[in-house]
């Protein structure tokens, strides 16, 4: 497998190497993180909460049509809260 890394990701990779991680360990860590982020449990949570997700999307689209946009920082804060709630639901 060959991946093109952004300068930021290349710097992170280089730091991991300089801190003693092997390329194999870095790859394993990355895939563990990816697996956690897109786990079957998260898919289950999304399926169980589709109605609420659709409702929130409908509200958001209506706000956008009215010109009521959320600043990127606020959006990040809100998404972080949703992800934390989802993680709590999964681990419970």
Tell me what the mean pLDDT of segment 13-38 comes to.
87
pLDDT above 80 for 16? yes
pLDDT at position 77 is: 92
Q: How many CA atoms lie within 13 A of 57 on its CB side?
A: 6
Where residue 92 falls among pLDDT bands split at 50, 70, 90?
low
Compute the C-alpha angle 92/27/30, nearest 5°.
35
How confident is the model over 44-86, as pLDDT tens digits? 888 899 999 899 988 888 888 888 877 889 989 999 998 888 8
Tell me what the mean pLDDT of segment 27-33 comes to.
87
Q: Quote the longest CA-to-CA distance of the chain.
A: 53
- Return all residues near 70 (Cβ < 8 A) that are at least 6 apart: 63, 78
Rounded CA gap, 58 and 39, in Å? 26
pLDDT above 70 for 40? yes
Query: Is 90 strand, coil or helix?
Result: helix
Q: Could you tell me where the DSSP H helices lie in 19-71?
A: 23-37, 40-48, 50-65
Tell me what the mean pLDDT of segment 31-53 comes to.
83
């Amino acid at each position: 497998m060959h991946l093109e890394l952004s300068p930021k990701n290349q710097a992170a990779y280089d730091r991991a190497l300089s801190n003693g991680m092997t390329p194999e360990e870095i790859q394993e860590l990355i895939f563990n993180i990816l697996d956690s982020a897109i786990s079957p449990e998260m898919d289950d949570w999304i399926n169980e909460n589709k109605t609420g997700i659709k409702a929130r999307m409908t509200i958001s689209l209506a706000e956008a049509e009215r010109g009521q946009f959320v600043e990127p920082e606020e959006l990040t804060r809100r998404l972080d809260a949703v992800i934390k709630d989802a993680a709590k639901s999964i681990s419970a």
